[in-house]
Structure 1
Amino acid sequence: MEPVTSESSDLYPVTRLAAVREATAEAGLSALLLTPGPDLRYVTGYSALPLERLTCLAVPADGDAFLMVPRLELPAAQHSPAARLGVEFVPWDETDDPYAHVAKRLGRADTVGLADHMWAMQSLRFRSAMPDTEQVLAGTVLAALRSRKSPAEAAALREAGAAIDAVHAQVPGLLRPGRTEREVGRDIADAIIASGHATVDFVIVASGPNGASPHHDLSDRVIEPGDAVVVDIGGTMPSGYCSDSTRTYSVGEPPADFTAYYDVLQRAQDAACAAVRPGVTCESIDAAARQVIAEAGYGDHFIHRTGHGIGIETHEEPYIVSGNTTPLAEGNAFSVEPGIYLPGRHGARIEDIVICGAHGGERLNNRPRDLVVV
């Protein structure tokens, strides 16, 4: 259960529901239907269990919100931050049809927004219960709200950034020749929890040629002298907000060709961070990093976007990628993480979480970005 605390009141304010209702109406939707996942947590603070039994917050554009909840989950809902919102809790029993109940209470609904992470099973059940209603993604309404962090959300992300920085501070002591990536990864996972995270979301330890695979996980490869090692780690804090940071290390002196492009990468990451300010487009931040890398001759080896938004999900809006002409707004939080990858040889990535402030970007990760030789 999630007790109601002053922290939850700041992170999940009671005014948020009204803002969501207003945005739903402005988007021309009849209602939002939010099942367990990040959308429901953002609106209510309730981390409901994702079950085959339906839990669903219905937010009509012109009516009162209500929370359909399995009767056996009612105590958990009543002890969650959702209890502060004044919404009606509607418990249902095992022989009830909660989808039909939601449809009946909503009445005529031309278009509803479904939680972006709603199970297909639930989406199809709603389609059967409301056959004349168009379904769209709730993200069309919620993305603009979720992407602009409040001061309380920014503080939660700073706390997450400091916690993952504390883990990176321990990594040099864990990287030794003869250890496997998996052994190092287990130690890092333990350190993520010890740093104050509630969960470990991912641990990438990519040594030597594995560093050329951006989403390499963990393997039994033995770390060798001269290996470059990409360490990308993150978790979720008790607040519900996420961390994500990448640093690249070298176990002993790295190859000369690696050192040459690591300097390029560092300049590219600095350039992208320096370009952050309200009004510039997301794609211009991507271009700032990509230009430095391309001019140095490594453009074909930068194979992913420069960044992704972060908050109660590790990946959310805004995405820092070519083609995204959305202008940055104060409160946007996102990663800046260019990389260079030479298949079969090695790779490198530097990643910080950045919040767009009134006059520029604030880095939330502050471990050294120079190559750390251990």
Structure 2
Amino acid sequence: MAGEPAVDAGSAVEPGGREVMLRDVRSYRLARVQEQLLKHKVPAILLYDPVNIRYATDTSNMQVWAGRNPARYVMVFADGRIVAWEFHSSEHVWDGLNLDVELRGAISWTFFNAGHEAERRAETWGAEIVDVFRQHAPGDRVLAVDRLDPFGAAYLEKHGITLLDGQALMETARLIKSSGELVLIGESLRTAEKGIERMRRELRAGLTENDIWAHLHFENIRHGGEWIETRLLASGDRTNPWMHECSSRVLQDGDLLAFDTDMVGPNGYCSDISRTWLVGDGRPSDEQRKLYEYAYAQVHFNMDLLRPGMTFREFSEKAWKIPEPFVKNRYCCLAHGIGMVDEYPSIAHSVDWDSAGYDGRFEVGMTVCVESYIGADGGNEGVKLEQQVVLTEHGCVPLTTCSFETDWL
């Protein structure tokens, strides 16, 4: 249950054993994609999202840039064959991978790359996609796609290809983590913990929010991490409402400082931890302690509640009841999936269920972030907490040992 020690993910792996583990993780993830294709009777999926490409193939090439500039893409077939269109002179990113892959050169038809020739170049791209699809899946007409700009979608549909929502297939494939994935997630979390420890060690009045935030980036890059998805660190009155981005505000003694790591670390897995601290050596005020007590109670009540077999709606209905003064500024969800980035599902509060909720069922092997933000409408400060967990047969188990301010309770 929630009181159990953190799962020992990310512990040291012998070099030879690590290669075996990575091979097993890659095989597992590709098999999960194939399983979804076969289940939905779809012969292939065309991937542009860099995270989906990483999941299916374990290749990485300028992930953030490629997320904005669709310049590499991969078609995965239900039988495991892969055709990959790689960015200019980057075929080396596939070295050392045991994949049944045919490498080709990518055609980019964004306005940045093609200017006013974008539509014509998209037709050249489309003709090749259709040819490859029909060559490997003769007679089939349904192709799953995770994301595609208008010219490309129009060309494929014009030439008899029916497009299916591939993002739903990939999110479902990524849902259940293997034991090897938990090791890789643990390695990312240990890096995040080093960054958090460094932030805490350097925390003092007179520094800026940006000064403190830089320490998380430092440790992430130093240990082979990749990027941080947001800039969610705030202090003082900028902690209410939540979602103020990190700034040049100077920290003052007695401020609350809250952050959300959103860190894509080593191995491409996300570490998503939120904590709230006090600046300086003093004691928090009664109001600060009350805010923290509520946030801590919400996270841990919901961790104790969460278990495999429970539906999303049941969890939402039974979740910790937010006191009325804090309802308006509630966090955007009660909990969400986590893997390489934030993933399906996102669990809506009961008050939001009709507008934002959808049902499903928690399963063993899901990794989840349990969320809380407590800050009164019109209040001076707020507290943000978040714990990353894995669902086991016994319930919800923390994946991080990053401490809470239990002496405030």
TM-score range relative to shorter protein: 0.7 to 0.9
Gaps of 5+ in 2: 1-17, 109-120, 350-356
Which of 288, 292, 312 is matched with 1:262 structurally?
A: 292
Query: In structure 2, do the counterparts of structure 1 residues 34 and 209 end up closer, same or farther at CA, with 3 Å as the change threshold?
Result: same
Report the equivalent of 1:8.
22
Which of 54, 62, 65 is matched with 1:41 structurally?
A: 54
Contact 2:371–2:386 (Cα < 8 Å) also in 1: yes
Contact 2:291–2:375 (Cα < 8 Å) also in 1: no
1:180-191 to structure 2, matched below 5 A, reads: 180-191=208-219
Structure scoring higher RCO (CA < 8 A, sep ≥ 6) equals 2
AA paired with 1:76? V
Q: Distance in 1 between matches of 2:388 and 2:219?
A: 20
SS at match of 1:97: helix
Q: Identify the range of structure 1 (49-58 vs 23-32) with the bigger mean alpha-carbon deviation.
A: 49-58
Contact 1:212–1:346 (Cα < 8 Å) also in 2: yes
CA-CA distance at 1:135 after TM superposition: 2.1
Is 1:147 equivalent to 2:160 in the alignment?
A: no
Deviations 1:125-184 (CA, angstroms, capped at 9, x unpaired): 243144232323212222222010011111111222222223222333322122221222
Is 1:243 equivalent to 2:278 in the alignment?
A: no
1:37-116 to structure 2, matched below 5 A, reads: 37-49=50-62, 50=66, 54-61=71-78, 64-69=81-86, 72-77=89-94, 79=95, 81=97, 84-91=98-105, 97-107=124-134, 108-115=139-146
CA-CA distance at 1:328 after TM superposition: 0.5
Contact 1:330–1:356 (Cα < 8 Å) also in 2: yes
SS at match of 1:12: helix
Deviations 1:254-275 (CA, angstroms, capped at 9, x unpaired): 3322222321221111111111
CA-CA distance at 1:37 after TM superposition: 0.7
AA paired with 1:27? H
Q: Distance in 1 between matches of 2:19 and 2:46?
A: 26
Q: Distance in 2 between matches of 1:326 and 1:194?
A: 39
Contact 1:212–1:345 (Cα < 8 Å) also in 2: yes
Report the equivalent of 1:158.
186
Contact 2:335–2:371 (Cα < 8 Å) also in 1: yes
Report the equivalent of 1:328.
362
Is 1:23 equivalent to 2:65 in the alignment?
A: no
Query: In structure 2, do the counterparts of structure 1 residues 286 and 174 end up closer, same or farther at CA, with 3 Å as the change threshold?
Result: farther
Contact 1:46–1:80 (Cα < 8 Å) also in 2: no
AA paired with 1:282? F
AA paired with 2:385? I
Deviations 1:225-246 (CA, angstroms, capped at 9, x unpaired): 2211112224222311111111
Report the equivalent of 2:304.
274
Deviations 1:21-60 (CA, angstroms, capped at 9, x unpaired): 3421321334211125111111111114439675332234
Q: Distance in 2 between matches of 1:193 and 1:76?
A: 19
Report the equivalent of 2:152.
125
Gaps of 5+ in 1: none
SS at match of 2:89: helix
Q: Identify the range of structure 1 (206-215 vs 185-194) with the bigger mean alpha-carbon deviation.
A: 185-194
CA-CA distance at 1:369 after TM superposition: 1.5
AA paired with 1:270? H
Q: Distance in 2 between matches of 1:255 and 1:372?
A: 13
Query: In structure 2, do the counterparts of structure 1 residues 63 and 127 end up closer, same or farther at CA, with 3 Å as the change threshold?
Result: farther
Q: Distance in 2 between matches of 1:372 and 1:127?
A: 60
Q: Identify the range of structure 1 (192-201 vs 161-170) with the bigger mean alpha-carbon deviation.
A: 192-201
SS at match of 1:271: helix
AA paired with 1:28? K
Report the equivalent of 1:355.
390
Which of 283, 289, 293 is matched with 1:253 structurally?
A: 283
Query: In structure 2, do the counterparts of structure 1 residues 65 and 130 end up closer, same or farther at CA, with 3 Å as the change threshold?
Result: farther
SS at match of 1:58: strand
Report the equivalent of 1:341.
375
Contact 1:289–1:338 (Cα < 8 Å) also in 2: no
SS at match of 1:261: helix
AA paired with 1:104? D
Query: In structure 2, do the counterparts of structure 1 residues 209 and 109 end up closer, same or farther at CA, with 3 Å as the change threshold?
Result: farther
Q: Distance in 2 between matches of 1:240 and 1:63?
A: 22
Q: Distance in 1 between matches of 2:32 and 2:262?
A: 30
Q: Distance in 1 between matches of 2:304 and 2:331?
A: 22
SS at match of 2:368: strand
Q: Distance in 2 between matches of 1:101 and 1:327?
A: 40
Q: Distance in 2 between matches of 1:43 and 1:10?
A: 13
SS at match of 2:41: coil
CA-CA distance at 1:286 after TM superposition: 4.3
Q: Identify the range of structure 1 (346-355 vs 246-255) with the bigger mean alpha-carbon deviation.
A: 246-255
Give the TM-score normalised by the residue count of structure 1: 0.85
Report the equivalent of 2:346.
319
Q: Distance in 1 between matches of 2:372 and 2:167?
A: 26
Contact 2:205–2:252 (Cα < 8 Å) also in 1: yes
Q: Distance in 1 between matches of 2:140 and 2:257?
A: 53
CA root-mean-square deviation: 2.9
Report the equivalent of 1:222.
250
- Percent identity of the aligned residues? 22
Report the equivalent of 1:367.
402
Query: In structure 2, do the counterparts of structure 1 residues 104 and 216 end up closer, same or farther at CA, with 3 Å as the change threshold?
Result: same
Query: How many residues of Structure 1 are paired with residues of Structure 2 in the alignment?
Result: 359
Give the TM-score normalised by the residue count of structure 2: 0.78
Deviations 1:304-341 (CA, angstroms, capped at 9, x unpaired): 2122211111x111223242321111111111111112
Q: Distance in 2 between matches of 1:130 and 1:19?
A: 27
